[in-house]
Structure formats: C-alpha cells, structure tokens
Amino acid sequence: MSSSRSAKDFFRPLAVGAPTPLTEIPARPSRAIHFFDPSNEKMAGKIPGMVGTVDVLLGNLEDAVKADNKVAAREGLVKIGQSTEGLGGGGTTQLWTRVNALDSPWFLDDVMTLVPAIGDKLDVIMVPKVQGAEDIQYVDRLLAQLEAKAGLERPILVHAILETARGVANVEEICGASPRMQGISLGPADLAADRRMKTTRVGGGHPGYLVRQDPNPDQPDASRPTYQQDLWHYTIARMVDACAMHGIYPYYGPFGDIADVTACEDQFRNAFLLGCVGTWSLHPKQIAIANKVFSPSVEDITHARRVVAAMGDGTGAVMLDGKMEDDASLKQCLVLVRLAEELAAIDPELKKQYDAIDAPEEA
C-alpha cells in the first residue's frame, strides 16, 4: 500500500458515487493478452471470431498505432466493445485496452471516451510508461470520477507497463499505489531504450550477452563454449516479487520476432517458471504458444497431485521417488494444482487432459 493514503482510506472510493474498490484482484486466467489495432479494419474484423479462443483481447491505442489513426483506433474500440458478444464485463474473453501515455496528446480523450462508452465492458486499462505511484494515483482518481459520472457498478482495474528505468526503481510503490492495480507487464523495448541498452530488439535475448567457459590450461587453444544469458532475468524477477508482495499479477510482455516461435516459447517459459501468469501475443500464432506455456503440463499436475496426496494433512516430511517433500514443496504443488483448476474451468480441452490423470493414492 502506498504511504500517501492511510490504511482506513485505501479502499474508499475516490469520488462520490464511484464503485467501491476491490480488496482482492480476481484470479482470472490471462495466459495471452492478445493485442490488436482497432483502426486496422482487417485485424478488427477478426476480433469477434477470436472471442473464446484467447483469455484477453486488448485494443491497443498506443505505440504501433499510427498518429493519424489514434482517433480511429479509439472509435474502433468503442464499436467493438459495444457490439461484440461475449467480450468483456464478465464475458468469456476479457476486454482490455492499452491507452496512450499520460504525457501524450491522446491519453485524456482516450479515457474520457472509453469509460462512458464501454466502461461496463472494459476489464482492465493498461497504462504505459508508468514512472511512479503518482502516475497510478492520477489515473485512479480520474477513473473514479468518470466511473461515478457513468454510473458504473464495477471498478475498472489498472495494469502498468514497466518500461522505464525509474519505473523499475519504483516498481514496489507502483504495485501498491491503488487497489485498482491488477498487474504489471515487462516492456522490454522501451525499457531497453530508456536504459540505453545497446540492443535493437523487442524482447528476447541477445547472442552477445553471454558467459564463456574458462580456458583449459592443457588445451589453451581449444575453443571455449559460451552460454547465452537472459537479459531480462533481473527485471522480471524484481517485477514478480513486487507483484506477489502486493497480491497482483506479473506478465512477460512482447516478443517481437514473430517468426522465431522456438525462442518465443523459451522466453515465455522462463517467465512462467519465475512466477508470471501470462504474456502478450502480438500475432495470432503467439496465442497457442502462450496458452501452452502458461498452462501447467499434465506431467506437472500428475506430480503435484501425488505430492498433495502423499503429504496427507500437510505436515511433516515424506519421501517420494527418492526426494524429500514437506510443507514448502507442498505449497509449490498447490500453486500448480489451483492454477490447473482455474484453467480447467474455462478451457474444456485442458479439463479433459487434467481429468484423465489417475487419482494418486492417499498416504
């Protein structure tokens, strides 16, 4: 919680008539946040057919939308939100948007247009280039005023993109700045530029960022293997801790090399293993990769359920397949089992796979 509001005020509406803030962020599956440009007629035309095939559809208004198309994108999103069955507001697929940056000429009109027109459909507003708690607090109050005016009954949640050095330095206060905070995504492209990293990519690794094995004194001229390192490990790990500390959700972000589906899957899996709940999809073919990676495998769930069964009342230590299990490994297994339950509730194919796992014997 931010130090600028007292504990008793934190969950009070910031405008008379605004909906009461949530005390807990709902754990809705959001393995892929699929980006589309609502001003691109061809892309926008595909959106109704994508409802039910992806956890989140996000109408992007910021970077990747041409300046000349900003108004068309905003209006296109309103049309999609108002006319698409099953999208947003408790429908099968969540509706999110990424609005323009707070210092841009478009942010104010984005929220002033979207909240009255489709505020009842919008689940989450993603705010780019967040620098500190003050940015979230500004959005928090403005949304409360607009929600009150529009008579909304459910607060719109806020998601921040971590894409400036100052944002990373302030990540804990950003996560705790408002009860609206739903989660954070890594923004590797803007973050690289802001940090003056010497890369030219949108996410992913770099072959130059490596460690090299020591020379072999007996073969000084032998070639020495190198191992590519993960440029994003530090930031993702920091983001995951900050989100967990505040009960909100961390996400990887964009993987710009659309053709390299293998490296995309690797980057997504690293984020999944470190604690992220989902990622972005920029192209339809990245949705299947995200859904696969961010759903626990049948093998993981088989093992996790065996540990849960072997641990009985959850106390003490047991041996399973030569390995010690106790309260701490049980808790890890329960994270996977609960995630599988949440996903099975919305994904019939996954449910079938998880249901087919033999029930483990009780200890």
Ligand X SMILES: CC(=O)SCCNC(=O)CCNC(=O)[C@H](O)C(C)(C)COP(=O)(O)OP(=O)(O)OC[C@H]1O[C@@H](n2cnc3c(N)ncnc32)[C@H](O)[C@@H]1OP(=O)(O)O
Binding residues: 98, 163, 190
Measured from the CB atom, is 156 or 192 closer to ligand X? 192
Measured from the CB atom, is 128 or 179 closer to ligand CC(=O)C(=O)O? 128
Q: Helix (H, G, I), strand (E, B), or coil: what is residue 217?
A: coil
Measured from the CB atom, is 63 or 300 closer to ligand CC(=O)C(=O)O? 63
> Could you please report the per-residue DSSP string of 222-284?
S---EEE--TTHHHHHHHHHHHHHHT-EEE------TT-HHHHHHHHHHHHHHT--BEEESSH
Under rule CB under 5 A, residue 187 binds Mg ion: yes
Q: Helix (H, G, I), strand (E, B), or coil: what is residue 18?
A: coil
Under rule CB under 6 A, residue 43 binds ligand X: yes
Under rule CB under 6 A, residue 35 binds ligand X: yes
Least distance to ligand X, CB of residue 227, Å: 27
Binding region for substrate = 98, 163
For 162, list phi and psi in degrees, rounded to 5: -95, 95
Are the CB atoms for 78 and 118 separated by under 8 Å? yes
The neighbouring-strand residues paired with 58 are 35, 96
Under rule CB under 5 A, residue 190 binds Mg ion: yes
Under rule CB under 6 A, residue 272 binds ligand X: no
Least distance to ligand CC(=O)C(=O)O, CB of residue 40, Å: 18
Measured from the CB atom, is 173 or 190 closer to ligand CC(=O)C(=O)O? 190
Nearest in space to 128 (alpha carbons), one of 82, 162, 169: 162
Q: Quote the DSSP letter at residue 31.
A: S
Question: Which of Mg ion, ligand X, ligand CC(=O)C(=O)O, none does residue 127 bind to, with CB < 5 to 8 Å depending on kind?
Answer: none
Under rule CB under 6 A, residue 157 binds ligand CC(=O)C(=O)O: no
Under rule CB under 6 A, residue 162 binds ligand X: no
> Quick one: which of 2, 60, 164, 267 contacts ligand X (CB under 6 A)?
60
Least distance to ligand X, CB of residue 161, Å: 8
Residues 6+ apart with CB under 8 A from 178: 2, 21, 136, 137, 139, 140, 158
Please give the Cα distance from 154 to 21 (Å, whole number): 8
For 215, list phi and psi in degrees, rounded to 5: -70, 150
Please give the Cα distance from 333 to 114 (Å, whole number): 41
Beta strands 279-281; 210-212: pairing state: unpaired
Under rule CB under 6 A, residue 130 binds ligand CC(=O)C(=O)O: no
> Quick one: which of 76, 155, 254, 278 contacts ligand CC(=O)C(=O)O (CB under 6 A)?
254
Binding mask 162-201 for ligand CC(=O)C(=O)O (x = CB under 6 A): -x-----------------------xxxx-----------
Under rule CB under 6 A, residue 33 binds ligand CC(=O)C(=O)O: no
C-alpha torsion 350→352→353→355, nearest 10: 120
């072959």: which residue's tokens?
207
C-alpha torsion 73→286→192→227, nearest 10: -170
- Tell me the C-alpha to C-alpha distance, in Å, between residue 327 and each of 124, 241, 275, 305, 338: 35, 21, 19, 14, 16
> Quick one: which of 13, 21, 275, 284 contacts ligand X (CB under 6 A)?
284
Measured from the CB atom, is 37 or 135 closer to ligand X? 37
Give contact residues for ligand X (rule: CB under 6 A).
35-37, 42-43, 46, 60, 63-64, 189, 202, 254, 258, 282-284
* Binding positions for ligand CC(=O)C(=O)O, rule: CB under 6 A: 63, 128, 161, 163, 187-190, 253-254
